[in-house]
Structure 1
Amino acid sequence: MTRDATTLPTAVPVAEKQSLWRRCRRWALPALGLVVLGLLLSHAHKVDWAGAWQALQRYPATVLLAALGLATLSHALYGCFDLIGRRHTRHRLQRWRTWAIAVASYAFNLNLGSLVGGIALRARLYARAGLDETTVAQIVGISLATNWLGYGLLAGSLFAGGAITPPRQAHIGADAFRALGVLMILLAAAYVVACFFLHGRHWVVRGRRIELPTAQLALVQLALSTANWALMGGAMYLLLGQQVPYATTLGVLLAASIVGVVTPIPAGLGVLEAVYLALLSGTVRQGTLMGAVLAYRALYYLLPLAGGIGLYLLLERHAASHPPDGKADTPWPAPTP
């Protein structure tokens, strides 16, 4: 009884702190999004929209087709992220269906947010295919890790190599910026090393078993992700008329992507435009810059969404006519060492 009396008062404050943190977290991100959106709207009247429209009209068809080709290839490459998850979890769902689920989810993710596309839609389609929650969670985790590991490696290389100069508003010196880049590279390398030494071990988090992939799969993750981000930068490089060095164009895109993630606005509306205006306004004419960003949004976000909707309807129709039989959730035999 004495032990219970002494532990009860300490448990209550912990629960209160956790509850307070949940309430703060629930409102902090939407509040941040409203602040960012307000700042964007306050500067909207300063944008040369007429110049942006003229820049859009001047685009040669060959440039738009080339940028669309790079965007399409990027989306197709992203679909391979879930194939890595298929290899890691050893589920038996068809490769084409796994790839199609990832591509459709990515298109919805870009336009409607990660909760809708990256998690909810993916979970529904995999559940319709017969996969259990634990397997789906591992696939989603592998996909997220693949995407951001490649991001860190590529962005870290640009920062460490001095290809990007930090803006004055960031209040960070060039040396600190390079050190940040080295740290990002080391984190990506540490992941590969951890996969090499810790593969085969597992951890249970909230009742779900987690296991690192092999070192070979980790290297494939880095290769596919860096190629995907490079393709995205290549599309914007073409749309900017090659007026800005490729490394700078890619670096600004990487910066805009991370800002879009922490800002809870669907499709990062206005975030991409604001970051490019802030970092490249003195290099490229505002009308040309806004025209390139709007063209990129149409080619990389909106057109693929139409394809994603088509894939989603196809997958739903296929799931209705091919109910799961339990084989998709049966893992392949573990590879022999």
Structure 2
Amino acid sequence: MSDEHESAPGNPWLRWGKRVLTLFFFIAIPVLLYMQLRNTDWQAVGGALRDYPLWVVAAAVGVALLSYLTYCSFDLLGRYYTGHRLPIRQVIPLVFVCYAFNLNLNALVGGVALRFRLYSRLGLDIPTIARVFSLSIITNWLGYLWLAGCVFAMGWVKLPAGWAVGNGGLRVIGVAMIIAAVIYVLACAFSRKRSWQIRDQTIELPSWQLALVQAAVGALNWSLMALIIWLLLPPEAFYPGVLGVLLISSIAGVITHIPAGLGVLEMIFLTLLQDELPRSSLLAALIGYRAVYFLLPLSVAVAIYLVLEKRAKAMRSANRQAA
């Protein structure tokens, strides 16, 4: 985007509009969530949390670890795509830290700033980091398009009667998502123009084989996230339905710009599943999910980050002495 466009008269209005919309969501989400929770039996929620068998908690932690490793593979695909030679043992802890910070804080902190800082300290140049980061974003949302498209098109998520989209509209959206994902793979397979120059960055289409791998690992990560919640819910919970609700809540969290989707996830799950599952069980599962997938990895990521910073400081000292 050119500097002239950035200073166009319409842009300040757009920026202010986004700020007002974000402020509205920051106010509306807690109010709506309070309305959902005001009659909650919190003793029943605490009892549901205490009643989790140890194997269920262990399984949820194991699936969370598998999900984080799957997300780390996004940057390993970027390593293959760009041809950079950073060792895998350096890439995985770096991406783990960025993902945990991204989930708990926001994309600018964990997804962008921290990723560029840590990669550049390992000697990767900015254009390469940008290409790795771009491929990671595409992998995540390509997997989302495939998975959400299939779940919505199959009608596995039942929306409340008052929702404007409706179940038929959600199916149409699902089909559109699948078409968009197919177009990306077809473009990777058949497009004659393989690269575009945007500012100082070169965007290059990957091979169709890599595009299919992107779709597979991106969808796998979303599936594992939903599996954690499903494990923590009662046995009658329908996994495809839980997956669909998670996918809806995730995109709602992106739209609202609320860090960690705090309150958004809970409101969507309570709204869509409260007629199918006990509210206490739903809340216990969501609290457990946040503990297992957000807070526990963040505590590990902080420790890893301190180690990475210490190593980077030692490397800079060694380089100054060598010079």
The normalised TM-score by structure 1 is 0.87
Cα contact 1:30–1:264 (8 A) shared by 2: no
For residues 113-192 of structure 1, the aligned pairs below 5 Å read 113-192=106-185
Q: Residues 14-73 of structure 1: CA distance to partner in whole angstroms, max 9, x if unpaired?
A: 822223223333443233323223332454423332211110011111111111111111
Moved more, 97-106 or 28-37: 28-37
CA displacement 1:74-104 (0-9 Å, x = unmatched) = 0111101011111111112112212221111
Conserved 8 A contact 1:199-1:213: no
Aligned pair partner of 1:40 in 33, 37, 52: 33
Whether 1:238 and 2:198 are equivalent positions in the alignment is no
CA–CA separation in structure 2 for the residues paired with 1:270 and 1:176: 25
Look up the SS of the partner of 2:202 in the other structure.
Answer: strand
Kindly state the Cα deviation for residue 323 of structure 1 after the two structures are TM-superposed. 4.8
Pick from 163, 186, 194: which aligns with 2:187? 194
Separation (CA, whole Å) in 2 of partners of 1:322 and 1:212: 35
Structure-1 separation of matches of 2:317 and 2:202: 23
Deviation at 1:227, TM superposition (A): 1.1
User: How does 1:1-337 map onto structure 2 within 5 Å?
Assistant: 15-198=8-191, 201-323=194-316
Shift of 1:200: 6.5
Q: Secondary structure at the match of 2:234?
A: coil
Gaps of 5+ in 1: 1-10, 326-337
**1:6 match:** none
Structure 1 stretch displaced more, 42-51 or 274-283: 42-51
The answer as to whether partners of 1:235 and 1:296 remain within 8 angstroms in 2 is yes
The amino acid of 2:247's aligned partner reads L
| Distance in structure 1 (CA, Å) of the matches to 2:267 and 2:169 | 24
Q: Pick which of 116-125 and 263-272 moved more.
A: 263-272
Please say if residues 129 and 324 of structure 1, whose CA atoms lie closer than 8 Å, have aligned partners that are also in contact.
no
Q: Is the contact between residue 158 and residue 272 of structure 2 (CA under 8 Å) also seen in structure 1?
A: no
Q: Look up the match of 2:321.
A: none
In 2, are the aligned partners of 1:71 and 1:235 still within 8 Å (CA)? yes
Assess if the C-alpha contact under 8 Å between 1:51 and 1:286 holds in 2: no
Ranges of 4+ aligned residues in structure 1 off by more than 6 Å: none
Shift of 1:189: 1.0
Partner of 1:322, secondary structure, is helix
CA distance in 2, matches of 1:186, 1:305: 36
Provide the aligned C-alpha RMSD in A: 2.2
C-alpha distance in structure 1 between counterparts of 2:158 and 2:172, whole Å? 13
TM-score (norm 2): 0.91
CA distance in 2, matches of 1:324, 1:167: 60
- Secondary structure of the residue aligned to 2:197 is strand
Aligned CA distance change for structure 1 residues 317 and 198 (closer, same or farther; 3 Å):
farther
**Do the aligned residues in 1 keep the contact of 2:74 with 2:135 (CA within 8 Å)?**
yes
Please tell me the residue identity of whatever aligns with 1:58: D
Secondary structure of 1:54's aligned partner: helix
Is contact 2:33-2:266 (8 Å) kept?
no
Q: Using a 3 Å threshold, how does the CA distance of structure 1 residues 34 and 205 change in structure 2: closer, same or farther?
A: farther
Q: What residue is the counterpart of 1:330 in the other structure?
A: none
Q: Matches of 2:113 and 2:232 in 1, distance apart? A: 33
